[in-house]
Structure 1
C-alpha cells in the first residue's frame, strides 16, 4: 500500500460545495445568486449546478442558449468547508486535476495561486496553511467570455473563427460555440480535487513506453519523482509487467529514473480488423526507507509510425502498426456533451461502440475539444480503435508570448505523459487547420508580423514528443503536406481537408479529388425527428423557423442543405419531407466520397469523416445525434466502411466495379451485374457474371460490361451488382429526380418480437433507400438497419427495439423511401 494519503474533496468523496455569482452580467431575476449560494457538484460546471438547482431552464431547449449567455460573462465562486486531521506526513498539497479556467485559489484566507489553463492540472503546497479540523477552500473563477475579452484588450487580438476570442485562453475552444455547438462558456472544478499528504518522496508521474524488439516486448518505464526538502534516503523502484519484475535503486534527489523491462514473448496489440488487442498490466512500486508509493496502468506492445516519404505521386500519409500499413476508416471526435462533466465510462463506451459498430478503426480527437478522460483511451485500447490526438489548437492564430507559451508547454508535457501508456494512441497532431489558415485565410495582415503558433507546431511540440514519447509519430497539423514549400491542403501530399463540398459545390466534386489521406470532410443533416422536436418548438415547424435556426450553427446552413440537393433529390413540400430528404442527402454525399476514396487504394490510405458524434441536439455533420440516435449517415458509413467493399465508380473509359479488400485473406467470389427495370417485376434486361479475385489488403477495378452499362431507357433502368458472398451495390443512369419509381413498390408487415417488433418490407418493384424511423412513435425506440434498397421480389426485415408495438400499418413519415418522394 502507498504511504501517500489522498483525501478527496469531491462531492462523491463527501465534500459539500456551493457556488454563487460574484459579479458580472447577472440579470435582475437572478440577482439573488450574488448573495445566496446554491449547492454545487464537484467535479461539475456552473451551468449544470444552476440547472440542478432549478434556477435556469435547459440550455439546449428552444432559444435558451442566448438567454443564458450572461453565465459566461459572470464570475463565480466555489466554496467548501472541510475537516482535516493530520496523518503525520510532512508535506500537504492541494491537487486540482482540472480547473476551468481563469481562477484564484484561496485556503483559509491565504491565496495559494492562480490558474489560466483548463487543459492541465495544478498542485499547491498547503503545508502550514491546512489546519486541524475546520478548513475553508474558495476557488473564484472569472467569467470566461469576460476573461477572453480582457486578454484581447491587454495583449491584442489574434485571428480566429467564430465570435468569441477563444484563442486568448487555454480553454476548450468549442465551449465558446462552434458551427455545430452551443455557446455555453462555463466554469467549474471539472476534474477531481483532493488533499495529498506525503513524506520523503513520491511518484510524480509514470511514462510506460511499450515497444517491440522482434517478438520480445520492451517496456521503457520513465518514473518522475518528487522529493521533500532534506530527505536523503535512496529509493528502490520496481516495475512488474507480463510476469517480469525489474528493480533499480536511485540516489536521493533523482528527478527521473528510466527502467527497461524485457518480456521474452508478448502478443502484439493490433487495431480492430488486423488482430487482437492484448493489454498487459503494469505495476510500479517506490520504496525509500519507511516511505512507499505506487502506480498502475496497462500497455499494449506495438509499434506505430507514419510514412510520408515522397513517391511518384507526391507524399503519402500512411499509418503503420507493427510495420503493417493500415487503411484508416475513421471519424472525427468532438466532446461528447457540451457539458463534459456529465460524461463517464458508460457514455464513452456507448459512443465508441458507435464507431466500432460502424466498422471504424480510428477516432481523431479534434483540437477544439479536450484531452479526453482516461476512460476514452482505455476503451479505444480495449476495442481496437486507433486514436489520433490533436494538441488543442483549432482554426485560429495563437500568441507565443511567454505566459501563453509557458501554459502550452505545461499542458503538452502533462498530456503526453498521461496518455503515453495507452496502446490506442497512434498519432499526435499539432493543430487543426491553423497552418492552412495562415497560408490562405487572410491572417497575415492583422498579424502584422507577430508569431501565430508556428513555434508550437514546428519547434516546441515536436521537441516535447522527442523527449517524452519518441515512439509515437507527430504531424505538425491537419491538413499538412509535410513540406514547407507545398500548400498545406494539397491533395497530392499528406493529409487533406475537403470543405468546398458542403460549402460551395455539389458532392459529386469528391470524385474530382485524389487525396492521399482525407482527414476531414463531411456533409450536414438534421438529427432524428424526436431529437429535433424535443428542443425545437416553432409553430409551425419550418427549416427557417427561429428556434430551428438556433439549432443550426453553420453559416447559411439550411440554405446549404437546400442547395446541396442539386439534381439528386426533389425540393421538399412538407417539413416531414425536408427532414427525410436532408438526412438522406447527407448520407448519400458522405458515402459518395468514401466510396470514391476507397476506389483509389492504395493511392488513398484513409478517410476520417467529420464527424461521429454531437454534443447537443443540433443540425450538424454528425452520424450519431445528441440523443445517441444513429442517423441514416451512420448506416451509410457502416456500409461503406465494410471490410470488403463493392462500388461502381466513374472513370474516363466508363463505369467500373471497384472492389477494396481490407482483410488478411483473399476475396474470391463470383459477381453478377444486372441491368434491370425499375418497374413492376423488375425485369432483367441484361446480365453478366465475372470472377472476382482480390488479394489481401488490395483493390481491383473491373469494367462494367458494355451490355449492362448501356441503357435504352435511363429513367426506368438501374444496375444491380451482387457477389455470391452477399456484397452488393447499385448504380443509376440518372438522378432520383429523373428516375421512374413506383409509389406502391413495396408492402410492410409488422410482427411482435421478444424485445420490440419487426417490420418486414417486400418489394414488387425497385424500392430505393428504405428507412424506418421508429423514434417518431417512441423516442426510445431503435432500429437495426437503414437505407435498404430492394429489387423486385426481395424482402428485408427491420428489427426494432422498443417498449411497445405500433397499432396499425406503418407508412410515411415512419417508413420512408425515395419512392415516396419521386414516385
Structure 2
C-alpha cells in the first residue's frame, strides 16, 4: 500500500487555505474575500487565531464575540500534485471531518458527511488524476446544521441551548456547564490518499485474554478486495509465536488464534505490572507484502460483577478475577480545540491522574472517542478505561439518518479500541436513562424515540459481536434491571449531585453507594490561570468576565453557599476580599470531595462484605480556563483538590468516621504495626490530652474498624481539641468543631516559614509551634510557570514540612512565606 499524506507538514507545496463561504459579520468580511493559510489537521478557530484574524476565544468575553463562527460555512481548499504508481485502487481517507462536510475532488462531489466521530474512505480512482489536483471540503455552519437536524428529527429534551443531540458532533463543543460554546469546523484528523491493489486489511481486532496461564490472542480480520483472483496469506506474530493461514480470494472476514504459554499478565496500577506485547498482522502474496497492522496488547481478563446480595446488587470491576477498588476520575476533552492536543499533552494530563494515585479514567459521553495517544498511555501506566459511547444528558432520536450514523461510529470505535488492555467498560450513555425516568422527559417526547434502542439493543449487540471480552453497561448511573430507579444507591452505579446543587457536602455520609461513577464539587482554577482570562477591575465573584468563566447555573452562588459552617466567609467591605474568596472556595472544594471519598472508602469492607467498591470524581481536567469541578486546571496547575485526592487515593488510608477509625488497606500486603491515637489541644505545643494505642492488623484489600476510646471522643473543649491517628507515615485527623468555631493560633504564632533558593527553584520550610491546618502554597501567584510538589499539609507542634517549588526563577522569598502565596486555615479563622 502506498500512502500520500495531505497534511500541512508533509510536503511544502501542500498549502491548505481557509475561507468563509457563509454569512460573515462586517467586522470580519475580508474572510469571505481573501483565503487565509490553514493547518491540517486543524480547526477554523485555531486557523483564524494563528493569523491574527480573531482574538483569543478563551480571553474575557471573546466567546460571545465569536459566536458567528459557528453560524458561518467554511471552505478548506488544497491544490496538490500526485502521480500514479502500479496500484489500481486509490482511496481518499479522512480520519476525522468536523462535521457537516461536502467533499469535492477536481470538481466532482465525492461525498457528504455528518459525523465527527467516524472516519471515511472514498474511492477516488476515477477522479484523481496525474499532476495537479484540487481538493475542496466545505463545512456547513455547525450551530445552524444542528438546528436544521433537530427540525427534521423532531425536538427532544436536551440539557443546553443547542440541539447537540440531533447531530453526531462532540456535544460539549456546543457549550457545557464547564466548557465554552465554540462549536466550529475543520479537518481535525489526518487526511491522505491510499493506493493499493488486490486486498487490504479493512479492520483488525487483536483480542487478548488469559486461559489457565496461557495467553490467547484471537485476531479478527476484515478484508476488502479490489480484485479477487488468487488466495493470499494472513500471518500473525507475537512473543515469538507465528501463525499463518491461506485466505481464499474474496473472503470478507477471517481469524487467527495464537497461544502464548506462560504469559505475563497485565494488571492495573497497584495490582501488578503492565507487560505489553507487540503484535504484527501481515498480508502477503508470495514474497510480496500487501498490507500490515501493528499494535500492542496486554493479556488480561476484565469483567463487571453485579452479584446480588442482601443490600441489592453491587458493581465491581474485576481484573484477572481480582476485585479492584476503583479510585478514578471522569475525563473530558483536554482542550476545547482538539487539534491542539498532542502526545506530550496527553501523557502529561494522564500522569496527573496517575501521580495522584488513580487507577481509572472514565471517558465521558459528551466528548470524543479519544486519541490513540490516550489509550496507549493508559495501557502503559495501568490506568483502567471506562469508555462511554457518545450520548450525554439528552434524549436521542433513533430515526434515520441518526441510527445509521450511530451504528457506523460505534463499529469503528469498538474495532479501534478493542486491542487495548486498559479498556475495562463500555458504557451506553451518560445520565440519559436517569433523565428519561426522573427529569420529566416522557411528557415532552410525544411518542418519539429517545435513545433506549441504542442503549439496550444496538450497542450491547455490537459490543458482544466485536469486543466480547469487555463488559457493557447500558448507562451511568444504572441499576442493571428494569425494575429499579437507575440512580439507586443500593444497586449498580450512582451519580451524587444533590451535594453541590442543593445540600451540604456532609450529606455524602447519608449515602451508602455501591459504586459512585460521578460526583464532585466546584472550585476556581489557579490564580494565574483565572486572571489570565478574567480582567474585571476590581476582581469580583460576580464580575461580568468572571461569570463568563463560570458556566454552572448559579455556580458562584453555590460556591458561596457551599461554605456552610465549614469555613468563614470572606470580607465584602470595603470591597470583596478576592484573595480569600479564591483560597476558601478552593479549600472547600478539596474538603468536600475528600469528605465524600473518605466516607466511601470507609464502606469498602472486604471482598465478601464490601458495600462500596469505588468512586470516580467529576472531574480530572478542564478544556479552557474556568471555575469548575476539575482537580487540575487548564494550565496544568494542580488545585488543592488534587492534593486532597492524592491523600485519599493512597493505598493505605486512615479516616475518622464518627466514633470509629477506619483503616482501608488497598494493597497486596497486610497492614500491621502500632497505631497511636491521641486527643490534642490546638494551642501552642499541641499537648496530648488522651492517648490510645492499638496493634493494627488489616489484611490485604480489606478495611478494618477500630473503636475509639471514650477518652479520645470526649473532649473537654469542642473548639480547641482534635484527634490525630498515626501509623508510620499515614495520619488522619478528626475535629469536634467546624473551622468557623475552632480556635487556631494566627500564622505568626502557629508556625515559622523560611524560603531558600535551590538549583532547581526554591524550598519553603514550615515548622509548626501549634496546630497548623491545611497549609498550602501558591507560587503561581508570583510566576504562572511555578509548580509546587505538595499541598494541604496539617502539622502539629514540632513537625516541619518542606514545599519544593520548580519551574520559576527570581521569586521574592519574602512573598513565598506570606499570604496570599502561603495560606492555611489559621490565617482565615485566627483572631
What CA deviation, in whole Å up to 9, does each residue of 1:301-342 have, x standing for no partner? 000110012111101100000011000000000000000110
Matched residue SS, 2:553: coil
Matched residue SS, 1:714: coil
Matched-pair contact (CA < 8 Å) for 2:153–2:397:
no
Matched-pair contact (CA < 8 Å) for 1:201–1:288:
no
What CA deviation, in whole Å up to 9, does each residue of 1:425-462 have, x standing for no partner? 11100000000000011111111111100000000000
Q: Which residue of 1 aligns with 2:496?
A: 498
Q: Which residue of 1 aligns with 2:241?
A: 244
> How far 1:291 moved relative to its partner?
5.7
Question: Given the alignment, which residue of 704, 707, 717 partners 1:713?
Answer: 717
Q: Which residue of 2 aligns with 1:813?
A: 820
Matched residue SS, 1:737: coil
Q: Verify: 1:637 aligned to 2:651, yes or no.
A: no
Matched-pair contact (CA < 8 Å) for 1:200–1:291:
no
Q: How far, CA to CA, are the matches of 2:674 and 2:178 in structure 1? A: 44
Q: How far, CA to CA, are the matches of 2:181 and 2:126 in structure 1? A: 41
What CA deviation, in whole Å up to 9, does each residue of 1:167-213 have, x standing for no partner? 11100000000000011101000000000100110111110000111
Q: Which runs of 4+ in 1 moved over 6 A?
A: none
Q: Which residue of 2 aligns with 1:472?
A: 470
Matched residue SS, 1:741: coil
Q: Which residue of 2 aligns with 1:741?
A: 744
Q: Which residue of 1 aligns with 2:619?
A: 611
Matched residue SS, 1:51: helix
Q: Which residue of 1 aligns with 2:805?
A: 800
Q: CA RMSD in A?
A: 0.8
Q: Verify: 1:704 aligned to 2:708, yes or no.
A: yes
Q: Which residue of 2 aligns with 1:220?
A: 218
Q: Verify: 1:19 aligned to 2:18, yes or no.
A: yes
Question: Given the alignment, which residue of 697, 718, 723 partners 1:693?
Answer: 697
Q: Verify: 1:270 aligned to 2:274, yes or no.
A: no
> How far 1:158 moved relative to its partner?
1.1
Matched-pair contact (CA < 8 Å) for 1:199–1:291:
no
> How far 1:235 moved relative to its partner?
1.3
Matched residue SS, 1:248: strand
Matched residue SS, 1:402: coil
What CA deviation, in whole Å up to 9, does each residue of 1:547-578 have, x standing for no partner? 00000000000000000000000111100000
Q: Which residue of 1 aligns with 2:784?
A: 779
What CA deviation, in whole Å up to 9, does each residue of 1:379-430 have, x standing for no partner? 0000110000000000000010121000000000000000011111111000
Matched residue SS, 1:509: helix
Q: Verify: 1:396 aligned to 2:402, yes or no.
A: no
Q: Which residue of 2 aligns with 1:96?
A: 94
| Structure 1 unaligned blocks of 5 or more | none
Q: How far, CA to CA, are the matches of 2:332 and 2:499 in structure 1? A: 21
Matched-pair contact (CA < 8 Å) for 2:783–2:811:
no
> How far 1:806 moved relative to its partner?
2.1
Q: How far, CA to CA, are the matches of 1:477 and 1:89 in structure 2? A: 46
Matched-pair contact (CA < 8 Å) for 2:208–2:218:
yes
Q: Which residue of 2 aligns with 1:656?
A: 660
Q: How far, CA to CA, are the matches of 1:752 and 1:125 in structure 2? A: 63
Matched residues, number: 813
Q: How far, CA to CA, are the matches of 1:309 and 1:718 in structure 2? A: 41
Matched-pair contact (CA < 8 Å) for 2:282–2:289:
no
Matched-pair contact (CA < 8 Å) for 2:153–2:399:
no
What CA deviation, in whole Å up to 9, does each residue of 1:449-483 have, x standing for no partner? 11100000000000001110100000000000001
Q: How far, CA to CA, are the matches of 2:709 and 2:79 in structure 1? A: 79
Matched residue SS, 1:696: coil
Q: How far, CA to CA, are the matches of 1:686 and 1:259 in structure 2? A: 68
Which structure 2 residues correspond to residues 569-588 of structure 1 after superposition, within 5 A?
569-573=567-571, 574-588=577-591
Which structure 2 residues correspond to residues 110-149 of structure 1 after superposition, within 5 A?
110-149=108-147
Matched residue SS, 1:115: strand
Q: How far, CA to CA, are the matches of 1:697 and 1:821 in structure 2? A: 39
What CA deviation, in whole Å up to 9, does each residue of 1:140-171 have, x standing for no partner? 00110000011122222111101111111100
Q: Which residue of 1 aligns with 2:352?
A: 354
Matched-pair contact (CA < 8 Å) for 1:241–1:282:
yes
Which structure 2 residues correspond to residues 29-40 of structure 1 after superposition, within 5 A?
29-40=27-38
Matched residue SS, 2:814: coil
Q: How far, CA to CA, are the matches of 1:402 and 1:167 in structure 2? A: 13
What CA deviation, in whole Å up to 9, does each residue of 1:649-703 have, x standing for no partner? 12xxxx2100000001100011111111111111111111111110000001111
Matched-pair contact (CA < 8 Å) for 1:235–1:287:
yes
Q: How far, CA to CA, are the matches of 2:142 and 2:448 in structure 1? A: 25
Question: Given the alignment, which residue of 747, 767, 776 partners 2:772?
Answer: 767
Matched-pair contact (CA < 8 Å) for 1:100–1:118:
yes
| Structure 2 unaligned blocks of 5 or more | 572-576, 605-609
Q: Which residue of 2 aligns with 1:600?
A: 603
Q: How far, CA to CA, are the matches of 1:174 and 1:155 in structure 2? A: 20
Q: How far, CA to CA, are the matches of 1:797 and 1:154 in structure 2? A: 62
Q: Which residue of 1 aligns with 2:574?
A: none
Q: How far, CA to CA, are the matches of 1:509 and 1:235 in structure 2? A: 64
> How far 1:288 moved relative to its partner?
2.9
